[in-house]
A and B are shown apart, each in its own frame.
Chain A
Amino acid sequence: MTAVDLMLALPELFILFMTCVIMLVGLWLPRDRQGLISFMSVMTLVFAAIILLGWDDSNPSAVDYAFNAAFVRDQMADVLKLTAFILLGAIFIYARQYLRVFKMAILEYHVLSLFMLLGAMVLISSASMLTVYLGLELIALPSYALVALRRDDKRATEAAMKYFVLGSLASGLLLYGLSMIYGVTGTLSLAQVANITSMGNNTVLVLGLIFVVIGIAFKLGVVPLHMWIPDVYEGAPAAVTILISSVPKLAAFAMAIRLLSDGMGNMQEHWMSMLVVLATLSIVLGNLVAIAQSNIKRMLAYSTIAHMGFMLLGLLTGTDQGFSASMFYAIVYAIMSAGAFAVIILLSQHGVEAENLDDYKGLNKRSPWLALMMLMLMFSLAGVPVFAGFFAKWLVIQAVLDAGMVWLAVLAVVFSVIGAFYYLRVVKLMYFDEPDSDEAIIVPADFRAALTLNGSAQLLLGIFANILIALCVASF
């Protein structure tokens, strides 16, 4: 371990250090001063971002390895980590009022979230199968605890239980697959795995690959490994659902890239056909089942499934263009999803989760600003130009067409039209219906600023799509 190694992982080390500091400080804070924890957490993310950007970037396309090539820092890692910082910062701001109203453990929420972020960062930067698994578990364990954070809530504990059992199973399967690959190649380093797999095919390797794909599919939540998503999204408090639906998605994307492209890029013919099936099933089932939901958290859960299917479209092409399209998709999806759940959090301010679609009736009359933000998010999720969600869909469809799979592109666009229906229904409720209640919506100033940014980011990332697209293209 050299100083350079530590410098490369400085953002991770800083987050780890500050999380410990927050944990210690929080223990001594009196109950009424816990607002400080939120502030400290947000500032931690701000400084982590500064450290990340401050890294001497004389050669942005450079790929630096550390810790005996177990840890990698490249442009993809930096862009994803920065996105994760921004998202988590916004989520902390969104959650502040909610945690107080629902009397949830503020300290635990922040510390667990920061650990989850740390896991995501490790996974994003993993260059060895060991770091992959380390990062994965560091995301999963805090997630289980976070879902069960409202421990007297029956639905939340049930969801946590389900999540834990299925999640452990998936981790086990992944580990099994990784051990098979290790058994054949004799190395944990993904770069060396790539070298060895180029020599030829091997049945055990293919079997290992199948288990790896299952692990990735579970983390992404694509059909047929999607069962946990609706239950966890619905059962978890909104402030936790927003976490699970955003940052880990970025990490899961990175995991797929690290394992499938960096590690087993030579076995593309094998994983491509698997991903085609997963993507097709997710897009079809996610979009169709979402239509039947009356609970907005469940609706967004099925929408996640469909979106992750779309994201896989780029990955499965196995081309650089496809990878960058998927990266764009993952980033844009995480931002959209965070915004949509932020609106749910805001409307839950009277101590009841605003999870029924009818709670959104006449929102335009109650708060035109909030309705406009949700409108932009919904149209972006539906993939209507000029919002960012459209560019994400366009890029993956372009990648699929480039790979010659016209039928898949046509299926994707047809189901994006079917999917548009349930997003439009939310817009319909907000704009065309009369409100059931006139209860005022109190919006803290920082919440308003963050959500305004989050909502208009859909528009800005669309109009100035060139910037993020260029970053994603340069990552591969």
Chain B
Amino acid sequence: MHLLSLLIWLPLFGSALVLAAGDQRPVLARWLALLLMLGALALCVPLYGGFDSSTAAMQFVEKMPWIEAFNIHYHLGVDGFSMPLVLLTCFFGVIVVVASWTSIQQRVAQYMAAFLLLQGLMVGVFVALDGMLFYIFFEAMLIPMFLIIGIWGGERRVYATLKFFLYTFFGSVFMLVGLIWLYLQSGSFDILAWHDFPLSLQAQKWLFMAFFIAFAVKVPMWPVHTWLPDAHVEAPTGGSVILAAIMLKIGGYGFLRFSLPITPDGSAALDWLIIALSLIAIVYIGLVALVQLDMKKLIAYSSIAHMGFATLGFFVVVSIVREAGVTDAANMGLTGGMVQMISHGFISGALFLCVGVLYDRTHSRQIRDYGGVAISMPWFATFAVLFFMANTGLPGTSGFVGEFFVILSSFAANFWYAALAALTLILSAGYSLYLVKRVFFGDIKNKAVAEMQDLNKREFAILGILALAVLLLGVWPNPLVELMQPSVEQLLSHIALSKVSGS
């Protein structure tokens, strides 16, 4: 069974099929897309069932030669890091199709085709084990997103989408130079072989910087984050959801798959850089989020702050491992970062869907246009408040688990890291609750709000499932944590060893 190939190619071929259905038949296009997304999700069942979470080895491996002249292989596999992200991707594939069911009326087939394309490519990024294959998926992904924001976006969509494309393209070309350089040194594009390939400290530092530029733009980290608020604000709801829930995670995943294992000594030498930028993201961007007037922009800034937690967790680990060995605190940093990524996927996705629900009704994202939504839409308000609470890291929701782990781990590294990171509990509570107060509570602001209909069945189902996921992950994160434990431990012991040859 080529499960991983199926997960990539089913949506890719599906997108051609949907495109062939044509824009004249929107109903057919929608159902076809839903069917394909459900098919991909169904494929995740045997994938999850067949996954052995007691080993850190790559599973469901597929390997065949692709470009023999340069030793490039079509090499796929999943481990504890990529598995949850693949599941998350397939899950959100279904969600965006359902969420866009009625809000997209223009060129439906092209819209659905773009999302199917995006889905196949994103799964490809997570399961590729060949450097060139990874890069191709990583870059090709920009094309459908560029079109999604540009065609179905808001007023300043052209500016936003060009900025998005050029920023991320600029970041990743340096990674390309790094990957080629690695190939010339090691004679292969195999990522797993690169993990064990000895490199001098100087080389590792350069490589680390090349990877850093690519992934920092993707995460995004301060100060290269400015494309994200623009892209989020202008993107259609589905685009925002995928952008926040999946695409940002690719940056974090890149750090785990490339930076930490390939350049462990480079990471140890330069971890201060990422830690500093993460802390700036957490504190400064949290403050920026406080003053936003646009709901989508606020959530976008909150995303940057929360992703700062994931990168903080990944890189505080390096100094802990190098000084104290593979300890529980180190384990908690990596695990916490991963849990934070998955949890942020659910929460930010849900929050953008909530804004989409409001936007579909009043065509405004401005906070000042709302007030008293809880009175006219009680069910919706229940869900939305739950997601905003999860965003602040309320215990019992998934947002708590990751942040708690990361803060604990930071304590072991440096008291001040933890102290600064913990500020987020105040800041995120500040901007989330302030928004909740202004939008949901109080008196009904105007006629438009008074006339809003509560959730229909479709919206109820989507938000309900997401709420369930957020709560489940909050009270019982064990399945997720156990799934990645072997991979986390392996990566930790890998970082502990120096790769500098001869030392």
Interface residues of A (CB under 8 A from B): 364, 368, 379, 384-386, 390, 394, 397-398, 401-402, 406, 409-410, 413-414, 416-417, 420-421, 424, 427-428, 431-432, 465-466, 469-470, 473
Decide yes or no whether B38 CB sits under 8 A from chain A.
no
> Within 8 Å CB of B293, what residues of A?
none
Interface residues of B in 86-132 (CB under 8 A from A): 107, 110, 132
On whether the beta carbons of A384 and B110 are closer than 8 Å, the reply is: no
Interface residues of B in 60-79 (CB under 8 A from A): 65-70
> Within 8 Å CB of B41, what residues of A?
none
Given the known inter-chain contacts A431-B147, A431-B151, A465-B67, please indicate yes or no for A397 contacting B169, CB distance below 8 A: no
Nearest residue, chain A, Cβ from B169: A417
A469 to B69, CA, bound (A): 7
Given the known inter-chain contacts A385-B139, A394-B176, A409-B177, please indicate yes or no for A417 contacting B151, CB distance below 8 A: no
Decide yes or no whether B158 CB sits under 8 A from chain A.
yes
Given the known inter-chain contacts A384-B139, A414-B173, A432-B157, please indicate yes or no for A401 contacting B146, CB distance below 8 A: no
Minimum CB–CB distance from B252 to chain A (whole Å) comes to 21
Decide yes or no whether B142 CB sits under 8 A from chain A.
yes
Decide yes or no whether B140 CB sits under 8 A from chain A.
yes
On whether the beta carbons of A394 and B180 are closer than 8 Å, the reply is: yes
On whether the beta carbons of A431 and B166 are closer than 8 Å, the reply is: no
> Within 8 Å CB of B146, what residues of A?
424, 427
Scoring B residues 176 to 208 as 1 if CB is less than 8 Å from chain A, else 0, what string do you get? 110011011000000000000000000000000
> Within 8 Å CB of A394, what residues of B?
132, 176, 180
On whether the beta carbons of A401 and B181 are closer than 8 Å, the reply is: yes
The residue from A384, A414, A417, A466 contacting B67, defined by CB atoms under 8 A apart? A466
Nearest residue, chain B, Cβ from A429: B158
On whether the beta carbons of B173 and A416 are closer than 8 Å, the reply is: yes
A416 to B137, CA, bound (A): 18
Given the known inter-chain contacts A413-B174, A417-B169, A466-B68, please indicate yes or no for A385 contacting B158, CB distance below 8 A: no
Decide yes or no whether B143 CB sits under 8 A from chain A.
yes
Decide yes or no whether B476 CB sits under 8 A from chain A.
no
Residue picked from A385, A397, A465, most chain B C-beta under 10 Å: A385
Decide yes or no whether B290 CB sits under 8 A from chain A.
no
Residue picked from A384, A410, A432, most chain B C-beta under 10 Å: A432
On whether the beta carbons of A473 and B69 are closer than 8 Å, the reply is: yes
Decide yes or no whether B462 CB sits under 8 A from chain A.
no
Interface residues of B in 305-345 (CB under 8 A from A): none
In the complex, besides A417-B166, A473-B69, 15 extra interface pairs with C-beta distance below 8 angstroms are A364-B151, A385-B139, A386-B140, A394-B132, A401-B177, A406-B181, A409-B177, A421-B166, A427-B146, A427-B150, A428-B150, A431-B150, A432-B158, A432-B161, A469-B69
> Within 8 Å CB of A432, what residues of B?
150-151, 157-158, 161
A434 to B247, CA, bound (A): 29
Minimum CB–CB distance from B103 to chain A (whole Å) comes to 19
> Within 8 Å CB of B158, what residues of A?
428, 432
A421 to B184, CA, bound (A): 30
On whether the beta carbons of A384 and B169 are closer than 8 Å, the reply is: yes
A401 to B97, CA, bound (A): 44
What are 12 A-B pairs at a CB distance below 8 A? Answer: A385-B135, A385-B136, A385-B139, A386-B136, A394-B180, A397-B180, A398-B183, A406-B177, A409-B180, A432-B157, A469-B67, A469-B70
Nearest residue, chain A, Cβ from B165: A424
On whether the beta carbons of A397 and B177 are closer than 8 Å, the reply is: yes
Minimum CB–CB distance from B63 to chain A (whole Å) comes to 15
Decide yes or no whether B23 CB sits under 8 A from chain A.
yes
Question: Interface residues of B, CB < 8 Å — how many?
Answer: 37
On whether the beta carbons of A470 and B150 are closer than 8 Å, the reply is: no
> Within 8 Å CB of B132, what residues of A?
394
> Within 8 Å CB of A469, what residues of B?
67, 69-70
Chain B residues touching A, majority SS: helix
On whether the beta carbons of B140 and A470 are closer than 8 Å, the reply is: no
> Within 8 Å CB of B140, what residues of A?
384-386
The residue from B68, B143, B157, B162 contacting A421, defined by CB atoms under 8 A apart? B162
A470 to B142, CA, bound (A): 28
Nearest residue, chain A, Cβ from B175: A413
Chain A residues touching B, majority SS: helix
Decide yes or no whether B170 CB sits under 8 A from chain A.
yes
On whether the beta carbons of B181 and A368 are closer than 8 Å, the reply is: no
> Within 8 Å CB of A384, what residues of B?
139-140, 142-143, 169
Scoring B residues 9 to 23 as 1 if CB is less than 8 Å from chain A, else 0, what string do you get? 000000000000001
A470 to B68, CA, bound (A): 8
A421 to B163, CA, bound (A): 10
> Within 8 Å CB of A417, what residues of B?
166, 169-170, 173
Given the known inter-chain contacts A397-B177, A428-B158, A466-B69, please indicate yes or no for A368 contacting B23, CB distance below 8 A: yes
A431 to B107, CA, bound (A): 11
Cβ-closest 3 pairs across A and B:
A413-B173, A385-B136, A385-B139
Minimum CB–CB distance from B147 to chain A (whole Å) comes to 6
A242 to B65, CA, bound (A): 36
Minimum CB–CB distance from A449 to chain B (whole Å) comes to 17
> Within 8 Å CB of A424, what residues of B?
146, 162, 165-166
A385 to B169, CA, bound (A): 11
On whether the beta carbons of A420 and B165 are closer than 8 Å, the reply is: yes
> Within 8 Å CB of B139, what residues of A?
384-385, 390
On whether the beta carbons of A402 and B169 are closer than 8 Å, the reply is: no
Nearest residue, chain B, Cβ from A420: B169
Minimum CB–CB distance from A71 to chain B (whole Å) comes to 29
A177 to B139, CA, bound (A): 45
A473 to B72, CA, bound (A): 15
> Within 8 Å CB of B69, what residues of A?
466, 469-470, 473
Given the known inter-chain contacts A384-B169, A397-B176, please indicate yes or no for A368 contacting B110, CB distance below 8 A: yes
A421 to B110, CA, bound (A): 23
A470 to B137, CA, bound (A): 22
> Within 8 Å CB of A398, what residues of B?
70, 180, 183-184
Given the known inter-chain contacts A384-B140, A431-B150, A466-B67, please indicate yes or no for A410 contacting B23, CB distance below 8 A: no
> Within 8 Å CB of B162, what residues of A?
421, 424, 428
A474 to B55, CA, bound (A): 42
A214 to B153, CA, bound (A): 49
> Within 8 Å CB of A427, what residues of B?
146-147, 150
Nearest residue, chain A, Cβ from B210: A410
Residue picked from A368, A379, A417, most chain B C-beta under 10 Å: A417
A409 to B65, CA, bound (A): 27
A403 to B174, CA, bound (A): 18
> Within 8 Å CB of A413, what residues of B?
173-174, 176-177
> Within 8 Å CB of A473, what residues of B?
69
A398 to B135, CA, bound (A): 14
Minimum CB–CB distance from A220 to chain B (whole Å) comes to 24
A432 to B151, CA, bound (A): 5
A427 to B166, CA, bound (A): 14
A364 to B114, CA, bound (A): 14
> Within 8 Å CB of B136, what residues of A?
385-386, 390
A271 to B132, CA, bound (A): 32
Minimum CB–CB distance from B358 to chain A (whole Å) comes to 25
Nearest residue, chain B, Cβ from A397: B180
Nearest residue, chain B, Cβ from A414: B173
Residue picked from A394, A397, A414, most chain B C-beta under 10 Å: A394
Nearest residue, chain B, Cβ from A393: B176
Given the known inter-chain contacts A413-B176, A417-B173, A432-B150, please indicate yes or no for A466 contacting B66, CB distance below 8 A: yes
Residue picked from B69, B139, B162, most chain A C-beta under 10 Å: B69
A83 to B364, CA, bound (A): 55
The residue from A364, A402, A420 contacting B166, defined by CB atoms under 8 A apart? A420
> Within 8 Å CB of B68, what residues of A?
466, 470
On whether the beta carbons of B184 and A402 are closer than 8 Å, the reply is: yes
> Within 8 Å CB of B180, what residues of A?
394, 397-398, 401, 409
A470 to B166, CA, bound (A): 32
> Within 8 Å CB of B157, what residues of A?
432
> Within 8 Å CB of A420, what residues of B?
165-166, 169
A424 to B158, CA, bound (A): 10
